[in-house]
Amino acid sequence: MKNLYLLIGICLILSCKTKQNTGSEKATTEVYKDETEISNKEYPDMNINARIGDMNIESSPVQILKSSIDGNLLTLKIGYSGGCTEHSFEFIGSEMIAKSLPPIRSVRLVHHANSETCRIYIERKLVIDLRELAYQKEAGSIIKLNIANLKNEQILYTYED
């Protein structure tokens, strides 16, 4: 019986190899920490001008996480995958306006990832000048913007001088 306990004890001691296991866990943790640090990198706000044009332009995936409007400026908090190359965005409005009160214009945020291969999740803020999308370019002119990237959500925009 003593020999059995001795044999089990020796097997347990030889099978642990704590130095090697601890070393591999550290390497995994360090890689994870590096990726987390990169994804938490601050990306500057990007200012773009909305335009009227072809809404069928190809776009890479992008999520709109939050939206707010102040005067002629729409602020979007967005999320997308990237991290290695510079990305650009366009905010395009349809030429067609739905006849309703107030009128409705479909718009779309287009994301140009430029053949990005990195997979880090990035969040940043876009500030979009909406003046070009106004129904009439006079103070008080109201239009609803139906944003394709926001499911079933419309933003009421009132043109300001």
Which DSSP category does 134 fall into?
-
User: Which CA distances in Å does 87 have to 23, 109, 116?
Assistant: 37, 13, 8
Indicate the helix (H) or strand (E) that contains 113: none
What pLDDT is stored for residue 105 in this prediction?
95
Please say whether the dihedral angle defined by the alpha carbons of residues 131, 136, 138 and 142, taken in this order, is positive or negative.
negative
Whole-number Å distance between alpha carbons of 37 and 29: 12
**Do residues 52 and 132 make contact, with C-beta atoms less than 8 angstroms apart?**
yes
Task: Give the confidence band of 1 by pLDDT, cuts at 50, 70, 90.
Answer: low
Q: Which of 5-9, 51-55, 124-128 has the lowest mean pLDDT?
A: 5-9
Tell me the β-bridge partners of 16. Answer: none
